[in-house]
Amino acid sequence: MKSTLAANRFKTHNNKSKELVASKFHSTLRNVRIVINTGIDKNTGQPIKGKAASFKAVFINNQSQWRTIATGASFQPGSFKSHFGSKLTAIEDGADNASTCKRCGTKNFKAKSGNVVCANACWTRWSGGNSKPRKPSNVKARAQAARNKIAASQKKVKPQNIGSKTQNADHYSDIKVGQLVRVVAGNQSFDVSPFAGLVTKVTTVGGRPHDLLANVWVQWMHNGVTEKMSNYCNPSSVSWLEVVS
C-alpha cells in the first residue's frame, strides 16, 4: 500500500491517530489536496476493525484551514489496489466539479451549520450591499509576464531541497515584488505545488513580535487571480510560500 501511495506522489501524515492517512496536491487545482484515509493501522499494516478506506478533496484556504469540498465512496482496505486508481480519478473529478463561490470563484464547502459557503469566507470582505468582487488589474499582462519569467528561468523547486531548508525551524521568507513563488505543503511532507505565482505587492506588518512578518500578494499565473498570503513558514503548518526565482 505504501509503495502505491508513494508512486502516486502521496505523502503520509504525521497524525496522532493510528490510521494511515496520506495526501497530495490535486493534479490541476490550486490549493486543493486529495486526502486518503486508508483504514490501515500505520504501525502494524493491518486493517482497522470497522474502518473503511475513502478519499476526499480539501481546499486549503487563506487561513491554512482544510475545507472538504468533495468526498468519495468508501471501500474495504483489503481491496485497496483494485480500487485505488478508479477512486482517485473519481475524487479528482469530484473536486473539479465542486461548486464555486459566485463572488470570488473559490470552491465552496458545507459548513457545520449545513450551509454551503465559500471556503475563503469572502463575504467578510464585502461591505454594505456591494456583492461584486474587485477584478485584478492587468490580469492578462501580469499572467503573461509570469509565464515568460518561468520560461526564461527554467528552474524547478525540488521538495527535498525545501525540506532540508525548513524542517529544522520556522522562519520568515525574504519575498520581494517580481519574484515567483510556489505553495509548499507542511505537516513535514514538503510537497511542492505544480502551480506558480508572481508576487505583485509586499507590505510589512511591523510591531513586535512580528518584525519580520509581511503580507504578500500573489497573482497565480494559471488563472490571473491575486491572493493575499504571508511570508511565514513553519514545517508543522498546513502550507506556506517559498521563492522559485
Q: Is residue 175 part of a domain?
A: yes
Residues 98 and 145 in one domain: no
Q: Is residue 124 part of a domain?
A: no
Residues 27 and 84 in one domain: yes
DSSP letter, residue 48: P
pLDDT value of residue 21: 93
pLDDT class of 151 with cuts at 50, 70, 90: low
Q: Is residue 71 part of a domain?
A: yes
Which of 118, 147, 167 delimits the end of a domain? Answer: 118
Residues 91 and 154 in one domain: no
Overall pTM > 0.85: no
- Its domain, for residue 212, covers 139-243
Written as nine digits, the cell of 105 is 470563484
Residues 103 and 148 in one domain: no
Q: Is 80 exceeded by the pLDDT of residue 163?
A: no
Q: Is residue 220 part of a domain?
A: yes
pLDDT value of residue 143: 59
Residues 102 and 146 in one domain: no
Written as nine digits, the cell of 55 is 478519499
Residue 103 CB-half CA count within 13 A: 18
pLDDT digits (tens, 9 = 90+) for 189-211: 566 777 788 888 888 876 655 67
pLDDT value of residue 99: 92
Residues 18 and 111 in one domain: yes
pLDDT digits (tens, 9 = 90+) for 60-102: 988 888 999 999 988 888 888 888 889 999 999 999 999 998 8
Q: Is residue 218 part of a domain?
A: yes
Residues 152 and 108 in one domain: no
Residues 109 and 152 in one domain: no
What is the domain count for the chain?
2
Distances (CA, A) of 194 to 32, 183, 191: 11, 9, 10
Task: Round to whole Å and give the CA distance between 219 and 239.
Answer: 17
Residues 85 and 162 in one domain: no
Q: Is residue 153 part of a domain?
A: yes
Report, as an integer, the average pLDDT of 112-132: 71
| Share above pLDDT 70 across residues of the chain, in percent, rounded to a whole number | 73
pLDDT value of residue 237: 59
Report, as an integer, the average pLDDT of 154-180: 61
